């Protein structure tokens, strides 16, 4: 071993033989001390300190190991060449969808559309389509909470982080976001992130690449969510002038969309600024063109979410009209009461599981055209939102439009159970139940043709006193009504002795 190393130094490095001998000796001597240090390090008599557990917040943590940052600097993440937007249909109406990784596929559009009915999420879901990284989701979500600038408001609408392995996808990651707009008010926004493992799966710094790409894509979600929901700035419009005074980009050479290319899109500049400040890797893909962002840009980014207070109190909601169990027809006015410790952002009116309308200002009202619904029972649900959470209230109503109900209700006398019934002692329980194709509105008891009791329900039960009832034969009748006046009557004979 000694001779081989000496020959290598002489032949490859051109060092004189006598010097090579000394050098090899030094190398071997150093190795002995290094090995010794490894196994016989001096004992540390100090107090052992357990790692400090911290509540997840946006922090300025130290960057990852230098080797990862240096490697990523040499081989930066693969960047998309373009982004796009399109309109997608949702149950709540037409939404604007945005992708930072090229064209929006049909499946991605369907996914964004499906999220339109979802309220705020308590956790970010993780979907590993490769099946190779079952624990990566926990690592990435913990990284998001501990390193990246975020608030509960936009985190609640970051629905998923997905891992793919796509050799034909020209990106390392992409953000897909969407928003709903009523006039100038953008009242809901949501998104999800896709990370492409293909280009990094064989790298010893795989997790570092995934974290860095996540930081850029979450920078999109953070900035675009607050841009849309808090500032009501739609896709294609410029950021507020305060941003450009802090980050002096040329309005002539940049665009808010991808019409001038990925590298000249100010949405991408902002996402890189965000990643540069919070990822911990000190990388900025656009620094060669636009320079590094100033501390003023960092302050401006933080200010986007400062107007949204951290809110742990859900709003309260109730349906004022119609009442539970009511029968409605034609245009039925639905009125909802909602309140919150900070502010109610909107109320959704959901009929049988589908959003029919929404209202962002009190009084929260919706006129439901029941002629488009079938006669019978329907569920009305009101969902009130604040910046971070939602609450539900629901009732059942019966739709009955005139001229459409010709079917009579039905009624049975449950007690007494035999006809005729011989009553020889004790008080007698009498009970009847009505049913209808739409709804029972009233049920009555008659004794020998005289009204004895009634209920505005489909069920009635009474106690017939033995001591005060003379002996004899009685006809007990039960009569049931539906909303349009259709009736049915049945009777039993009671022989009291």
Digit-coded pLDDT (tens) for 168-213: 988 999 999 999 998 889 999 999 999 999 999 999 999 999 999 9
pLDDT surpasses 70 at 1: no
* Short-list 457, 456, 432, 427, CA closest to 445: 432
Encode the chain in three state secondary structure: CHHHHHHHHHHHHCCCHHHHHHHHHHHHHHHHHHHHHHHCCCCCCCCCCCCCCCCCCCCCCCCCCHHHHHHHHHCCCCCCCCCEEEEEEECCEEEEEEECCCCCCHHHHHHHHHHCCCCCCCCCEEEECCCCCCCHHHHHHHHHHHHCCCCHHHHCCEEEEEEECCCCCCCCEEEEEEEEEECCEEEEEEEEEEEECCCCCCCCCHHHHHHHHHHHHHHHHHHHHHHHHHCCCCCCCCCCHHHHHHCCCCCCCCECCCCCCHHHEHHHHHHHHHHHHHCCCCCCCCHHHHCCCCHHHHHHHHHHHHCCCCCCCCCEEEEEECCCCCEECCEEEEEEEEECCCCCCEEEEEECCEEEEEECCCCEEEEEEHHHCCCEEEEEEEEEECCCCEEEEEEEEEECCCCCCCCCCEEEEEECCCCCEEECCCCEEEEEEEECCCCEEEEEEEECCEEEEEECCCEEEEEECCCCCCCEEEEEEEEEEECCCCEEEEEEEEEEC
Which of 399, 420, 449 is where one domain is finished? 399
Backbone Cα Rg of the chain: 36
pLDDT surpasses 80 at 284: yes
> 278 vs 79, 159, 187, 272, CA distance in Å?
19, 21, 28, 10
Does residue 131 sit in the same domain as residue 218? yes
Tell me the C-alpha distance between 288 and 299, whole Å: 22
- Mean pLDDT of all residues belonging to the chain: 83
Does residue 293 sit in the same domain as residue 325? no
Which of 306, 336, 368 is where one domain is finished? 306
Does residue 364 sit in the same domain as residue 265? no
Instruction: Identify the pLDDT of residue 386.
Output: 74
Does residue 138 sit in the same domain as residue 275? yes
Please report whether residue 311 resides in a domain: no
Please report whether residue 45 resides in a domain: no
Number of domains in the chain: 4
| 278 or 7, higher pLDDT | 278
Q: Which domain holds residue 131?
A: 66-306
Does residue 146 sit in the same domain as residue 289? yes
Q: Region 479-496: what's the mean pLDDT?
A: 91
Tell me the C-alpha distance between 316 and 337, whole Å: 8
Q: What is the CATH number of the domain that holds 394?
A: 2.60.40.10
Does residue 109 sit in the same domain as residue 166? yes
* Short-list 210, 176, 178, 208, CA closest to 193: 176
Q: Region 248-261: what's the mean pLDDT?
A: 88
Percent of the chain at pLDDT above 70? 85
**How many CB atoms neighbour CB 119 within 10 A?**
17
Least confident of 32-36, 403-407, 416-420: 32-36
Please report whether residue 480 resides in a domain: yes
pLDDT tier, 67 (very low <50, low <70, confident <90, very high otherwise): low
Does residue 426 sit in the same domain as residue 380? no
Instruction: Identify the pLDDT of residue 344.
Output: 83
Give the relative orientation of helices 17-39 and 2-13 as an angle to the nearest 10 degrees: 130
pLDDT surpasses 80 at 242: yes
Please report whether residue 21 resides in a domain: yes
Instruction: Identify the pLDDT of residue 117.
Output: 87
Please report whether residue 49 resides in a domain: no
pLDDT surpasses 80 at 456: yes
pLDDT surpasses 60 at 9: no
Digit-coded pLDDT (tens) for 354-394: 888 888 788 899 999 998 888 889 999 999 887 667 789 99
Instruction: Identify the pLDDT of residue 102.
Output: 76
Q: Report the residue count for the chain.
A: 497
Does residue 254 sit in the same domain as residue 332? no
Least confident of 11-25, 227-241, 255-269, 463-477: 11-25
Instruction: Identify the pLDDT of residue 388.
Output: 63
Instruction: Identify the pLDDT of residue 349.
Output: 93
Tell me the C-alpha distance between 301 and 243, whole Å: 9
Please report whether residue 330 resides in a domain: yes
Please report whether residue 174 resides in a domain: yes
Q: Name residues whose C-beta falls within 8 Å of residue 29's C-beta, 6 or more positions apart in sequence.
A: none
Instruction: Identify the pLDDT of residue 311.
Output: 59
Instruction: Identify the pLDDT of residue 432.
Output: 95
Least confident of 34-43, 72-81, 342-351: 34-43
* Residue 179 CB-density burial (10 A; 0-12 exposed, 13-18 middle, 19+ buried): buried
């Amino acid at each position: 071993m000694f001779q081989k190393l000496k020959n290598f130094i002489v032949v490859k490095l051109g060092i004189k033989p006598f010097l090579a001998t000394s050098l090899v000796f030094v190398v071997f001597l150093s190795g002995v001390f290094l090995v010794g240090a490894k196994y016989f390090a001096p004992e540390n008599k100090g107090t052992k300190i357990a790692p400090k557990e911290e509540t997840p917040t946006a922090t300025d943590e130290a960057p990852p190991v230098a080797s990862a940052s240096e490697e990523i600097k040499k081989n930066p993440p693969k960047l998309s060449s373009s982004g796009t937007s399109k309109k997608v249909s949702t149950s709540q109406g037409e939404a604007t969808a945005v992708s930072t990784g090229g064209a929006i596929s049909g499946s991605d559009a369907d996914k964004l559309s499906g999220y339109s009915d979802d309220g705020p999420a308590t956790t970010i879901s993780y979907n590993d389509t490769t099946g190779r990284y079952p624990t990566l989701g926990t690592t990435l979500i913990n990284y998001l909470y501990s390193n990246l600038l975020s608030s509960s408001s936009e985190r609640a609408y970051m629905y998923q982080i997905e891992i793919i392995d796509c050799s034909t996808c020209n990106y390392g990651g992409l953000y897909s976001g969407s928003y709903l707009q009523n006039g100038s008010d953008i009242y809901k926004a949501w998104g999800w992130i896709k990370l492409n493992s293909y280009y990094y799966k064989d790298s010893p710094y795989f997790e570092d690449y995934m974290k860095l790409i996540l930081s850029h894509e979450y920078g999109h979600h953070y900035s675009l969510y607050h841009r849309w929901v808090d500032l009501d700035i739609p896709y294609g419009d410029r950021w507020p002038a305060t941003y450009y005074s802090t980050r002096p980009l040329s309005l002539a050479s940049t665009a808010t969309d991808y019409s001038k290319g990925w590298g000249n899109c100010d949405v991408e500049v902002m996402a890189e600024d965000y990643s540069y400040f919070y990822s911990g890797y000190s990388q900025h893909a656009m620094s060669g063109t636009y320079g590094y962002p100033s501390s003023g840009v960092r302050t401006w980014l933080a200010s986007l979410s400062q107007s949204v207070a951290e809110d742990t109190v859900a709003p309260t909601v109730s349906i004022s009209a119609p009442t539970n169990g009511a029968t409605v027809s034609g245009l039925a006015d639905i009125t909802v009461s909602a309140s919150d410790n900070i502010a109610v952002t909107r109320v959704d009116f959901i009929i049988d599981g589908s959003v029919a309308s929404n209202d962002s200002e009190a009084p929260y009202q919706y006129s439901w055209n029941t002629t488009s619904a079938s006669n019978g029972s329907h569920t009305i649900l009101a969902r009130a939102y604040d910046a971070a959470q939602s609450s539900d209230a629901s009732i059942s109503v019966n739709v009955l439009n005139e001229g459409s109900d010709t079917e009579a209700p039905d009624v049975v006398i449950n007690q007494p159970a035999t006809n005729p019934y011989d009553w020889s002692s004790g008080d007698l329980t009498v009970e009847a139940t009505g049913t209808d194709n739409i709804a029972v509105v009233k049920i009555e008891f008659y004794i020998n043709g005289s009204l004895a009791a009634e209920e505005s329900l489909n069920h009635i039960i009474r106690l017939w006193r033995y001591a005060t009832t003379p002996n004899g034969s009685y006809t007990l009748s039960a009569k049931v009504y539906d909303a349009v006046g259709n009736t049915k009557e049945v009777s039993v004979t009671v022989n009291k002795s």
